[in-house]
Amino acid sequence: MLKKYDVLILGSGAAGQSLALRLADRLKVAIVTKRELADSASAWAQGGIAAVLDTTDSVEAHIQDTFTAGAGLCDPVATRFVVENGRRAIEWLIERGVPFTREAKSELGYHLTREGGHSHRRIIHAADATGAAVQATLSEQVRAHPNIEIFEHHIAVDLVLGDKVGHPGAGCLGAYVLDIRGDHVLTFSARNTILATGGAGKVYLYTTNPDVATGDGIAMAWRAGCRVANLEFIQFHPTCLYHPQAKSFLISEAVRGEGGLLRLPDGTRFMLDHDARAELAPRDIVARAIDFEMKKHGLDCVYLDISHKPAAWLREHFPNIHARCLELGIDITRDPIPVVPAAHYTCGGIVTDLAARTDVPGLYAIGESACTGLHGANRLASNSLLECLVFGESAAKDILAKPATEHPPLPAWDESRVTDADEEVVITHNWAELRRAMWDYVGIVRTTKRLQRAQHRIRLLAREIDEFYSHFRVSNNLIELRNLVVTADLIVRCALKRTESRGLHHSRDYPDTHVRARSTVLRPARRRPEP
């Protein structure tokens, strides 16, 4: 079945939905999402959105904080572009009705909090569930817009490229999409295709990410001929709740920003032994410090203690964290919270320009799947949603400025030479093996030998998965596993190319940092011309 749109957006987080709303008054838009519209990493974001919103703060200060966290690798032009457009992005959300937490005595009328790595209070938030508030507001408006069609429980199998379907040089012409519930593949023809698929946290055994974070956009872009960059920089959030019944529950950066202290089981603080900024050091430093202390003392976790704050204040500022912990028998007004680091954010991704364009004409990437140059070697807290919004706007401007083109004829998905899978358990086993190998060998602290072991295992898995993909009908699990193994291989390849320790990439074999910071860029063997 062929479906035609002006714009096809793969992914339904803050990046994809904000872009859709900016385009839909003039263009026909389709949003494809693997689960429900609100299921994305954006909805899980707790802390808030960083932007210069107070006269005591400045654009230069925000840029400098971003540079410092990014360990010298942030692109100056991209960073300034995002920070200078930050206030307008927040005002756009306020106009849309996002219920940010108010504070009468502040200049803007909203409460601003502070997080690790920030020199000022500049994080606007909706209590401790900012992402959910943003997502709910945008989703309601996306569902109501007559020019936006939503395809829930659909997953992109791969991009449709002109070179492969009889239209040389045409770039990206849309995507093949599996209707998961209907179990058949649709052909989407689009003048513009946007990868807003999020990161790749599920490539690791332990992650704060939702199950949909399987590196789909990164893998599809790589197969299409796009460059990727800096994928070795996987941010491990320092404080994921450690509890057998708590799956991927994040304890917000704002808990430390508001005075939370990290302690060993005996109550001893340890962050001052690792960094003068203590609990307010950037995430990579805090995560490595926790990892060090856990290994040194043989611990399963450490503890984040904010019980010294008034109970009523905690319930007001962290209602969701308080409620979730209480469900598990942890009263944060009296008890320290058990925490461990977990894979949290993919700082690298598909190389894009300031208009969010990739190397393939007609193909854009925004949000966590993209590498814009903003995050460098380590993302500054709460810059992620900001990046989604700013590049969503810039992509919209570029798309709206383009002349309309005809939809060329596209072939339907061909299943004539495949059969139903005989043993789905193969997918489950390969998924588990991949995620365990990445956790064991490509974690917070790395060595060349560990990376080489991971690469060997990943490539064995890749051959097996490719053979499975070639012979059997596609399924949601197979598509995700195929994308995860490609992304895992790219992460390891980037890590092996970096012969230093910088930001989130810490190597025992190369403990020093080079004087000059360089991005790690991988190019496909047959990269297509840049737009």
Residue positions annotated with a catalytic role: 283
Q: Categorise residue 109: left if φ over 0, alpha if ψ from -120 to 50, beta otherwise.
A: left
DSSP helix/strand/coil, 267 = coil
Q: How far apart are the first and last CA of the chain?
A: 30
**Which position has the token pair 């997918």?**
427
User: Strands, E, within 28-111: which ranges?
Assistant: 29-33, 49-50
Torsions phi, psi for 390 (to 5 deg): -65, -45
Torsions phi, psi for 286 (to 5 deg): -65, -45
The answer to whether residues 96 and 90 touch, using CB atoms and an 8 Å cutoff, is: no
**Which position has the token pair 């457009």?**
85
Strands 123-124 and 112-113: antiparallel
Strands 2-10 and 49-50: unpaired
What 8-state DSSP symbol labels residue 244? T
Closest CA to 486 of 237, 230, 228: 228
What type of residue sits at position 363? L
DSSP helix/strand/coil, 363 = strand
Closest CA to 139 of 260, 39, 239, 267: 39
